[in-house]
Structure 1
Amino acid sequence: MTSRFRRLLLTTTAGTLLLMLVGLYTAYKGAGLTCEQRWPLCDGWMGLFPANLVSFIEWSHRLLAMLVGFALLGVLYLAWRRQDDRRVKWAVTAAVVLLPSQIILGALTVTEFTALITAAHFFTASLILLCLTAACVWTVEPPSVGGLRTLAILAAVAVPFHLALDGSLFAVPVSVLTGYYALSFLLWGALVAGALWAHGHGLPRARLLFALGSAVTWFDMLVARRKFGLDQTLTDAGAVVVLVLIAGAIWTLSKRSKTGGLAATRAD
């Protein structure tokens, strides 16, 4: 596996996350409504240039989506030509296969903008990011059990901020909500990585706890969009559940570290 491929994969994954955050900000500002039924054109000169700040936000999202899409195709090419891990190849391939449906759903969020369509758009984007995150995890050396426990502790520290920034406890501006998603997706990615690394260490209980924590974190992000008629207190309960699951993972990994240390001492 070449360092060039690893850098491009990491950059594309970060770009995908940035694209999702810009898309969420665009949705919160209602910028897609500047185009409405004129998609793929918009409201500027000849429908090709932004007419104001709001349409500039929408166009910026489109430009970034194009750049990330081309980068993803480059990652796909290098995945099949320059590295041997089949897991990475198929994870990147799955992300590219999902790309056309994500583009179609993106168009529908402008022309239709229903709760179901926006949920599908968010779900598909999350799947693409999940595939790329898994590919990134498989390209690096997995941490030790102690390192995995440190990852879980850092994730636990992030959970209170994940709870405080979601807007269910107090009203927050759009910029803070975007920050909420930035933090929450990083938390989600850390838990996904923890689940994959725990699997590599043969730790099924830790893997399950990490995986459940990532699933609940994602559901919290879905509810926080306030488009689906769900009680916002679900996000508060979800954060508590995530914290309990991470605490369970920390406890499980601590037991494994102690067991490993005792085994090493006896071997000496």
Structure 2
Amino acid sequence: MSSDSPTSRLRSLIDRFGFPHLLATTLVLVAATILLGVAAKATGSGLACEANWPQCDAGPYNLFPANLPSFYEWFHRFVAMFAGFAIIGSALASWRVPDIDTRVAALVVAGMVLTPIQVILGRETVLQYQMDILSLHFWTAVLIFALFIVATIMVWKPRLTRTHLTGALALGILSVPFHVVLSPFVLTDITNYSPTVQMTQYGVTLALLTAVIASLMIGYWRLESRRTIGLLAVTSVLAFVAIFLGRRTVMTLNPVLDDLYIFVAIGLFGAFVASLVLTRSNSDRI
């Protein structure tokens, strides 16, 4: 095989920057795309660019935004383009570089397979702007984000210790009350649920998702106590339910869902605290 082959050039690039750093960069770009999508929706910019896709409403070939609402939508697409390239690059690297764990490769390739589906859903949010399509677009993005969280944590596994587990649990403990405080349940006047508040809450949502996945994975690798690992698994289930209900309370403003969301959030907070106490106890050392 020639030293100038695409595989050798890709391997050289990975050797220079590191596959773990490539995955971490991709994860950041995916998170930024999600938050910019939230900003576009919250500011009412989803139908900006005069409902054109993938073009916008100004400049040569209508490639650029004509006003601030169009800029939100245009910038969301702009960052999403780079996130898509990073996802594809990560998938190619994971598949063609021989020393990458096949499980990591499967996760990243799954993210790549979902990417064109996500692009089509993004187009439909502009052309049809229906709540079902918006929700599917959001949850597909969250699924891609989750896949890359798991893949990124797996490639960083040798460097992750109980200290990182403690940090993940602490992040979860901090995220839960902020997630509740920034929700419509507390901000009972919907006019207070501003675009800035919405972006912040969804940022907290991504932090909560990262914390619970990281704590479960690192706990499984670094802890011996079945009781603590089981509690981390319960915490993960509660976190996913809280994230889902938090999204539903925004979409429906249903009092029953609000009460259920608060109940689950209280349980989640308690589970995080209990997990932190158990992981720091002398009875659960490696």
TM-score normalised by length of structure 1: 0.86
Displacement of 1:116 in angstroms is: 0.7
Structure 1 residue 5 corresponds to structure 2 residue 29 = no
| 232-241 vs 30-39, which moves further | 232-241
The verdict on how the C-alpha distance between 1:161 and 1:218 changes in structure 2, with shifts beyond 3 A counting, is same
Question: Could you say what the CA RMSD is over the residues aligned between the two structures, in angstroms?
Answer: 2.5
| 8-17 vs 198-207, which moves further | 198-207
8 Å CA contact retained: 1:36, 1:110? no
Structure 1 residue 43 corresponds to structure 2 residue 57 = yes
Q: Which residue of 2 aligns with 1:192?
A: 213
State the one-letter code of the partner of 2:170: I
Structure 1 residues without counterparts, runs of 5 or longer? none
| 161-170 vs 183-192, which moves further | 161-170
Q: Which residue of 1 aligns with 2:240?
A: 215
| 48-57 vs 244-253, which moves further | 244-253
SS in structure 1 at match of 2:57: coil
Q: Choose which of 76, 93, 102 in structure 2 pairs with 1:61.
A: 76
Displacement of 1:35 in angstroms is: 3.6
Q: Which residue of 2 aligns with 1:74?
A: 89
8 Å CA contact retained: 1:209, 1:249? no
Structure 1 residue 242 corresponds to structure 2 residue 242 = no
Identity in percent:
31
8 Å CA contact retained: 1:105, 1:117? yes
| 27-36 vs 243-252, which moves further | 243-252
SS in structure 2 at match of 1:43: coil
Q: Choose which of 103, 127, 140 in structure 2 pairs with 1:87.
A: 103
State the one-letter code of the partner of 1:241: V
8 Å CA contact retained: 2:50, 2:57? no
Q: Which residue of 1 aligns with 2:8?
A: none
Per-residue deviation, residues 52-94 of structure 1 (Å, max 9, x unmatched): 1111211111111111111111111221233321221111011
Q: Which residue of 2 aligns with 1:106?
A: 122
SS in structure 2 at match of 1:33: coil
Q: Choose which of 159, 163, 180 in structure 2 pairs with 1:163.
A: 180
State the one-letter code of the partner of 2:268: L
TM-score normalised by length of structure 2: 0.81
How many residue pairs get aligned? The number is 259
The verdict on how the C-alpha distance between 1:232 and 1:148 changes in structure 2, with shifts beyond 3 A counting, is farther
8 Å CA contact retained: 1:26, 1:57? yes
8 Å CA contact retained: 1:39, 1:110? yes
Displacement of 1:147 in angstroms is: 4.7
Rounded to whole Å, the distance in 2 between the matches of 1:8 and 1:150 is: 22
Per-residue deviation, residues 80-134 of structure 1 (Å, max 9, x unmatched): 2333212211110110010011000000101111111011101100110000000
| 103-112 vs 202-211, which moves further | 202-211
Off by >4 Å, runs of 4+ in structure 1 = none
Structure 2 residues without counterparts, runs of 5 or longer? 1-13
State the one-letter code of the partner of 2:140: T
8 Å CA contact retained: 1:34, 1:55? yes
Structure 1 residue 177 corresponds to structure 2 residue 202 = no
